[in-house]
Each structure stands twice: as C-alpha cells, then as structure tokens.
Amino acid sequence: MKIYIFRHAQKAMDFSGDPDLTPEGHNQASTLLDLVLKNEMPSPTHLWVSPRKRTHSTFRPLSEHLRLPLENQEDLLEQHGDESLQGFRKRIAKLLEKAAESKNDVIYLCSHYDWVIEAMSVIPSETDLSEDRFTHWSPCQCVGFEVEKDGLYKFLELKRITP
C-alpha cells in the first residue's frame, strides 16, 4: 500500500479564511493529473482532502478524470488555535494509521504546510525525515511512501509538481 502526502497547490492571497488556488495553482493541479496519466506517478485509488477549497481544487482534476470522489478528512486540517502540538501530532498519527489499514490502495492525501511538516516527525521510517529536504515544502510538493507490513514507511520519492 502506498501513501502520497501533498501540500496543496499554490493558494490565492485573500482574506476569506478559505482561499482557492491561483492560476499557477490550477496549472499545478493539471500537471499532477498529467503525471498520473503518463504513469510518472502511481494512479490513486483514494483522494483524501482537508475540507478547505485549496485541497479540493488541487485534486479536482484527478477526481474528475479518474472518477474518484474527494473524501473529506477533518484530520487533514491545519493545527487548530487551541490545539497543542502533542494533540496535533496525535491527530496526524491517527489519520496515518487509518490510511495504513488499507492493503492494496494508493492513497493521495492533500493537506497544508504545517500538517505536512508535523507528519514528517511522526511517520515511522528508516529514512531520516528530519533532513533538510523534508523541512521546506513548496506548493504542490509531495512525498511518497510504501507502507510495509510491519508499519514502517519506506521512502519512495520526493517530488515538486511544476507546470
């Protein structure tokens, strides 16, 4: 089973609290679909998104073309203002455990910068996920793992989706 964790594509700057993507962000989302169609990335069997517009828009081209629903996961939301770091990490670990229960699936998760950064600190992996390459996340960057039977996450790739 594989899990790909994405930071959403480039978001628009607005003060609504739930911005959509910029034109560049929509291009990144289209490029992601192209990479899947060219078999340069595995085809997902599930698309998990936070309830925010920008995560939905990042995976919408995949959803429409592959006819996969966007599955809202509240646990993919950013850290809440009243949530401790320990509580945030527990929430992330709980969601990753839920994803790892799938056997032959390829789950794409789309979340936010702080979520992805903290996920790197809770994922059990032989790869050192505290290395510099895992600490700076551009819009529409992703990391892929193969979840092994013992629950260890085997690092597959780190990719920046650019049009």
Q: What is the pLDDT of residues 132-158, one digit of tens each?
A: 999 889 999 999 999 998 889 999 999
Work out the average pLDDT over 21-38: 97
CATH superfamily, with its number, for domain 2-160: Phosphoglycerate mutase-like (3.40.50.1240)
pLDDT in tens, 91-130: 999 999 999 888 889 999 999 999 999 999 999 999 999 9
pTM confidence score: 0.96
Residue 67, exposed/middle/buried by CB under 10 A (0-12, 13-18, 19+)? exposed
Return the pLDDT at 43: 97
